[in-house]
């Protein structure tokens, strides 16, 4: 009888110990800022001009650009970043002309209008990454085709950036695309969303970007 009791007790202790180890090994997400972007919480910028529009519309955060070769961005309403982070959002491109090209993405490591990185995901299945340094643009990744990107107007892509100390990893629709040599700035930066048009008259059309489920995590 005692042997049976001790055997049962041993099994219970073993189970509890395993569960404790599992919970200890599971990392806790350090969420810095999160917003489903379905309603206006009066934290994201909303405004309009003759060239762009930023507003909440039918359960999305909307960024619209009407000018050829331009992009509009909106910085997340979270202070500044001086640590490694990941950021993710669900994004839909809507083209006024579905046969033309538009883009959505992130402006990241943003210091000011003259110093930032920009990730653009295009409706034709390509992406590019470039940097603006003291007002001058240069490419980190030139226009590159990626079969993971869902193409066309009205489709959703989930975009994620993982910015470590010296590298940035790009994930699209939960698939890792590549890791690039992009160091995080030593100064405080910000992160934001962006929508833009094609860069030539041949592929120009006004573009609307619809965004949901923004999440920023310290890593």
Q: Is residue 1 in some structural domain?
A: no
| pLDDT single digits (tens) 14-58 | 444 434 334 344 456 799 999 999 999 999 999 999 999 999 999
Please say if the pLDDT value at position 2 is more than 70: no
Angle of CA points 125, 64, 122, to nearest 5°: 10
Q: Please tell me the distance from the alpha carbon of residue 164 to that of residue 118, in angstroms, as a whole number.
A: 16
The CB density around residue 140, as the number of other CB atoms within 10 Å, is 15
Per-residue pLDDT, 129 = 97
| pLDDT single digits (tens) 149-185 | 999 999 999 999 999 999 999 999 999 999 999 998 7
101: nearest Cα among 157, 158, 152, 154: 152
Full domain range(s) for residue 179:
30-218
Total structural domains within the chain: 1
Instruction: Write down the pTM of the prediction.
Output: 0.85
Q: Please tell me the distance from the alpha carbon of residue 117 to that of residue 105, in angstroms, as a whole number.
A: 11
Q: Is residue 21 in some structural domain?
A: no
**Separation in Å, CA 85 to CA 78, 90, 105, 124, 136:** 13, 17, 16, 28, 25
| pLDDT single digits (tens) 66-96 | 999 999 999 999 988 999 999 999 999 999 9
The CB density around residue 148, as the number of other CB atoms within 10 Å, is 15
Cβ distance 116 to 110 under 8 Å?
yes
Q: Is residue 3 in some structural domain?
A: no
The CB density around residue 198, as the number of other CB atoms within 10 Å, is 21
Q: Give the H or E element holding residue 218.
A: strand 207-218
CATH number at residue 97: 2.60.120.560
Q: Is residue 92 in some structural domain?
A: yes
């Amino acid at each position: 009888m005692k042997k049976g009791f001790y055997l049962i007790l041993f099994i219970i202790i073993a189970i509890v110990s395993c569960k404790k180890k599992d919970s200890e090994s599971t990392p806790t997400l350090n969420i810095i800022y999160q917003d489903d972007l379905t309603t206006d919480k009066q934290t994201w910028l909303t405004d309009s001009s003759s060239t762009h529009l930023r507003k909440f519309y039918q359960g999305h955060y909307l960024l619209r650009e009407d000018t050829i070769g331009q992009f509009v961005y909106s910085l997340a309403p979270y202070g500044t970043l001086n640590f490694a982070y990941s950021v993710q959002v669900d994004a839909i491109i809507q083209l006024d002309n579905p046969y033309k090209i538009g883009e959505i993405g992130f402006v990241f490591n943003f210091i000011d209008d003259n110093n930032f990185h920009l990730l653009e995901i295009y409706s034709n299945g390509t992406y590019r990454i470039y940097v603006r340094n003291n007002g001058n643009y240069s490419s980190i990744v030139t226009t590159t085709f990626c079969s993971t990107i869902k193409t066309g107007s009205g489709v959703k892509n989930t975009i994620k950036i993982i910015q470590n100390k010296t590298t940035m990893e790009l994930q699209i629709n939960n698939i890792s695309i590549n890791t690039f040599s992009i160091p995080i700035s030593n100064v405080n930066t910000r992160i934001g969303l962006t929508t833009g048009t094609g860069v030539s008259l041949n592929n120009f059309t006004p573009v609307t970007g619809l965004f949901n489920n923004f999440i920023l995590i310290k890593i």
